[in-house]
Amino acid sequence: MSSPPAITFLGGTGTVTGSKFLVEAGASAVLVDCGLFQGLAPLRRRNWRPPPLDLDRLDAVVLTHAHLDHCGYLPVLVRNGWRGPIYATHGTVELARIVLADSAHLMMEDAALANAGGWSKHHPALPLYDSDDVGRTVQLFRPLDHGVRRSIADGIELEFGHAGHILGSAWAHLTLTTGNVHRDVVVSGDMGRPVHRVLLPPQPRPACDVLLLESTYGDRSHDDEQASAALAETIRRTAGRGGSILIPAFAVDRTEVILVELAKLVRQGRIPALPVFVDSPMALASLRVYRQAVAKSWPEIRPELSDMDDAFDPGRLVELRTAEESMRINRPAKPSIIISASGMASGGRVLHHLESMLPDRKHTVLIVGYAAAGTRARSLADRAREIKIHGRYVPVKAEVVLVDAFSAHADKNELVDWAVDGPEPSVTYLVHGEPEASAALAERLSSQYGWCAVVPRDSERVLV
């Protein structure tokens, strides 16, 4: 007798990182998302454990989008011998190639720095994976357009819908069949916003028996007008005292969103036309893909962007490609805006800028997105007086401003609107959120709409 369909929550529960959902139908198994754990040390240590599933039984991976917390663990599967297909949209494939290559580069670089500086607890320090692992991983990608239905394993069919979170992002609709039992499962991935500055709103979800709904902002709402005003005021105030603005930004999508917003503010005369430095090789590679998507009018792109010469240029855009160019702006002499990765300040060139700019009161660090617990960005948002960078503590004297409405994640109202726009599922599982956010969204769906809404436990297996 075939086993009934089931889902096991291998990550993305009680945290916004490490998304991994194992979906089984009979003898078939697919993994929806394969993300790195980030933030607190106990979470990061989970990346180093053996893969939490039987790789010999894994038929395929389904990737909702190209952020590290959803795709960054893929090379670990490959390093451990897995060679199955990875299904993703064309946009996700393009961006995941960039994201994974950069991730391996940073891991290898951090290990080398730790060994040279002697500040690692491990001797020698090693990367979780390397460029060779990434090279083998990207060969496994199988592009699948939004709206195209495909059988990906015996008894499992997949269809992607536009999620509006980042370029290529998708919700995944899985139809599971075991014997005479048919079940429809929708995994939201990361849900975007109707007011995204680059992408069109998320497509409505189909009817389903089970919904896995992200809950990053399950207890908070965004104020977009206030965000624009706060950004403009922060830039004017900092430039007025001769300082520069450092924006740690996710290299994929957040950089593009901030550039579009800065260009709008310059056109409206609300901020001076300062030099804007994009200092992240991955952000520049991502920007190239976004520009291509605008030029070719991809279906998910807002059509008005195609009418502009360059929607991503605020007027004095400077793209920094080399380490030498980056070092030259470490201590900016004149007011400027520096956009650098990583967004949570967990690695990348932004660390060198933080190291040099945080001790100076005239500068500002602007946090423009979600900052997970245990990250440097969260420490800054929580008003830490010093943060540890490259093995030493750096005093925080610069102004720190938090404007998280630029997040590409739907807020609590947008999540509910998207969920209840379709027929009620038998059960909704709240994932990809810190405990308070997931619990708040579950309570709202339950009390206001009468839904069966559950926050799953880590490693919990449920029948569908």
The three-class DSSP label of residue 157 is strand
d(CA 408, CA 256): 11
Taking only Cα atoms into account, the Rg of the chain, rounded to an integer number of angstroms, comes to 22
**Residue 157 is part of which domain span?**
6-219+409-463
Dihedral angle sign, alpha carbons of residues 420, 422, 424, 428: negative
Residues in the chain, overall count: 464
E-strand ranges in 196-326 read 210-214, 245-248, 276-279, 317-319
* Residues 339 and 433 occupy one common structural domain: no
The residue among 429, 419, 436, 439 whose CA lies nearest residue 461 is: 429
d(CA 20, CA 8): 8
d(CA 165, CA 200): 9
d(CA 289, CA 385): 38
Other CB atoms within a 10 A radius of the CB of residue 45 amount to 10
d(CA 60, CA 374): 32
* Residues 180 and 282 occupy one common structural domain: no
DSSP 73: T
Other CB atoms within a 10 A radius of the CB of residue 310 amount to 14
- The CATH number of the domain holding residue 284 is 3.40.50.10890
Give the pLDDT score at 296: 95
Give the pLDDT score at 294: 97
Encoded tokens for 32? 């929806």
* Residues 74 and 131 occupy one common structural domain: yes
Give the pLDDT score at 26: 95
d(CA 61, CA 50): 17
The three-class DSSP label of residue 349 is coil
The residue among 323, 300, 296, 314 whose CA lies nearest residue 256 is: 314
Dihedral angle sign, alpha carbons of residues 338, 342, 343, 346: negative
Question: What's the total number of domains in the chain?
Answer: 2
Give the pLDDT score at 372: 80
- The CATH number of the domain holding residue 58 is 3.60.15.10
* Residues 17 and 125 occupy one common structural domain: yes
Dihedral angle sign, alpha carbons of residues 148, 199, 220, 382: positive
* Residues 58 and 200 occupy one common structural domain: yes
Last residue of a domain, one of 382, 406, 430: 406
In a domain, 34, yes or no: yes
In a domain, 205, yes or no: yes
* Residues 89 and 127 occupy one common structural domain: yes
d(CA 144, CA 152): 11
Give the pLDDT score at 303: 95
* Residues 236 and 247 occupy one common structural domain: yes
d(CA 70, CA 432): 10
For 416-461, give the DSSP string: HHHHHTSPPPSEEEEESS-HHHHHHHHHHHHHHH---EE-PPTT-E
Last residue of a domain, one of 384, 406, 428: 406
* Residues 444 and 310 occupy one common structural domain: no
Other CB atoms within a 10 A radius of the CB of residue 169 amount to 33
Other CB atoms within a 10 A radius of the CB of residue 228 amount to 18
Dihedral angle sign, alpha carbons of residues 297, 302, 308, 312: negative
Last residue of a domain, one of 406, 421, 453: 406
* Residues 124 and 237 occupy one common structural domain: no
* Residues 415 and 297 occupy one common structural domain: no
DSSP 36: P
d(CA 99, CA 96): 5
* Residues 85 and 175 occupy one common structural domain: yes
Q: Give me the tens of pLDDT residue by residue for the chain, a chain 464 residues long.
A: 578 899 999 999 999 999 999 999 999 999 999 999 998 889 999 999 999 999 999 999 999 999 999 999 999 999 999 999 999 999 999 999 999 999 999 899 888 888 887 766 777 889 999 999 999 999 999 999 999 999 999 999 999 999 999 999 999 999 999 999 999 999 999 999 999 999 999 999 999 999 999 999 999 999 888 999 999 999 999 999 999 999 999 899 999 999 999 999 999 999 999 999 999 999 999 999 999 999 999 999 999 998 888 999 999 999 999 999 999 998 888 999 999 998 889 888 999 999 999 999 999 999 998 888 889 999 999 999 999 998 899 999 999 999 978 889 999 999 999 999 999 999 999 999 999 999 999 999 999 999 999 999 999 999 99
Give the pLDDT score at 109: 87
In a domain, 1, yes or no: no
Q: Are 282 and 319 in contact (CB under 8 A)?
A: no
* Residues 303 and 426 occupy one common structural domain: no
